[in-house]
Amino acid sequence: MNPEGILLNIQKHVSLNEEEKAHLDTLFAIESFAKQHTILEQGRLCRKLFYVEKGSLRAFNGNQYGKESTIMFAIKDWWITDMYAFTNQTKALLSIETLEHCLLRSISFDVLEHLLLTMPKMERLFRILFQKAYVREQLRVLDNISLSTEERYLQFLSKYPQIAKKVTQKQIASYLGVTPEFLSSVKRK
Amino acid sequence: MNPEGILLNIQKHVSLNEEEKAHLDTLFAIESFAKQHTILEQGRLCRKLFYVEKGSLRAFNGNQYGKESTIMFAIKDWWITDMYAFTNQTKALLSIETLEHCLLRSISFDVLEHLLLTMPKMERLFRILFQKAYVREQLRVLDNISLSTEERYLQFLSKYPQIAKKVTQKQIASYLGVTPEFLSSVKRK
DNA sequence: AGGGTTTCTTAAACTATCTTAATCGTTCGT
DNA sequence: ACGAACGATTAAGATAGTTTAAGAAACCCT
């Protein structure tokens, strides 16, 4: 068992005994993907929730004209899926692609549902994770409706410096909701 | 016990026996507020989570120039607080005001923490609620970064028709992140 | 290392949105 | 019922952001 990975991270929120650790370790499959691989494609059923042990990914929505909007990036120790489609087990609104070689742990919807019903500690874990995720998204909404593009760009850099190092300007622009050309002109100043 | 209120709503997500219902009923205080009352003021400590039994509210952030950005509205059966400040027990980023006379149920941070630790069903309840809230905010972020003001306005009307009836244009504009003047010109078309 | 591909930058013309200010209608307190 | 405050609308001029296009720079791939 890798003491640097998912189990250690889970224990930041709930305590686990050896038996529980062993059990959880069997439930999260190990998956390895090459750079630029699409692990979820918009329109397909979203069956899995992923935890990032290594690498980085991007979740985005593409509209009918080919414009992409980046909903989130994920790096080491983040969870990622199309949570809307995963929760409702419907067609994905998002595509998720690896930005580099990735080592992920995955759990299917059914296995997770069963785990939540049988292990209260996991309800607690995900309650905490979703609570934090909700707060994070709400703060992002506030940024989106109250700040200028320049302010949002600087906020992104200071909030996620590790991500900023790994992704392109174009991807940052699509996360901020502006064109790459305009982001470039904002930076020029 | 009011069978139309919070207990009935909780039971949409988890089952409760009579004893549990009675217990929960004692934990959520009943609070009544007049129209236009500020139940949380930006900068103050955020101590309570509220459930709306009756009435409607608005949570917003005001910047140093007096510009307000509406983060959320809440009507019957919604939960509301400044979740960032509540979670971290720090100064509120948001103010919350009643838009009409309100009947609320409230629970303090400490009582809720204890409840979550002692009643696994409540961890499950809030896991489900936060998961839905996360998805909702993420979809709003997607709207914000990918849609035009007109599209976001129409989306708001169709998604929250009950809210649209109760709030002013100015408040809708501050929820969409545009000026009331511009929203007015968008509608004119 | 070279050729093709993608990203980044710049600029000009165009569109979306804001600011300010004036007018009008509605609400609220006394 | 009255005037004062507030909300909604309109319009003109200013700023923010997009589109298109082109060249320069960085990144692959073999």
Q: What is the DSSP string of B111-147?
A: HHHHHHHH-HHHHHHHHHHHHHHHHHHHHHHHHHHHS
Residues of chain A falling short of pLDDT 50: none
Instruction: Tell if the CB–CB gap between B138 and A84 is shorter than 8 Å.
Output: yes
| CA–C1' B180–C16 (A) | 15
Chain A nearest C-alpha distance from B1 (Å)? 28
Strand C nucleotides in reach of protein CB atoms, 7 A cut-off: 7-12, 16-21
In single-letter form, the type of residue at position A105 comes to R
Q: Name the nucleotide nearest A182; use CA and C1'.
A: D17
pLDDT at B58: 97
In the numeric block, the tokens 């250690």 are attached to A8
A69, A116, A124: residue with CB nearest B142: A69
Rounded (to 5) percent helix, strand, coil in chain A? 50, 25, 30
DSSP string, A22-35: HHHHHHSEEEEE-T
> For chain A, how many residues are written?
189
Q: Which single residue has its CA nearest the C1' atom of nucleotide C10?
A: A185
Taking a C-beta distance cutoff of 8 angstroms, is the pair A19, A62 a contact? Answer: no
With cut-offs at 50, 70 and 90, classify the pLDDT of residue B189.
Answer: confident
* Chain A: closest CA distance from residue B61 (Å): 8
Per residue in B138-187, pLDDT (tens digit) is: 999 999 999 999 999 999 999 999 999 999 999 999 999 999 999 999 99
Is residue B3 very low, low, confident or very high in pLDDT (cuts 50, 70, 90)? Answer: low
For B149, the enclosing helix (H) or strand (E) is helix B149-159
At residue A138's C-alpha, the angle toward residues A62 and A46, to 5°, is: 40
Q: What would the pLDDT profile of B8-27 be if each residue is shown by its tens digit? A: 999 999 999 999 999 999 99
d(CA A41, CA A50): 14
* Nearby residues of B79 by Cβ (< 8 Å), 6 or more positions away: B49, B50, B51, B52, B129
Q: What is the pLDDT of residues A4-40, one digit of tens each?
A: 699 999 999 999 999 999 999 999 999 999 999 999 9
- In terms of pTM, does the model score above 0.75? yes
Using a pLDDT cut of 70, give the percent of chain B over it: 98
Alpha carbon of B33: minimum distance to chain A alpha carbons (Å):
26
CA of A157 to C1' of C7 (A): 19
Name the residue among A131, A141, A175 with its Cβ closest to that of B130: A131
Residues belonging to chain B? 189
Q: What is the DSSP letter of B68?
A: E
Look at residue B125 and tell me whether its pLDDT is greater than 90. Answer: yes
Two structure tokens written together for B8: 């009935």
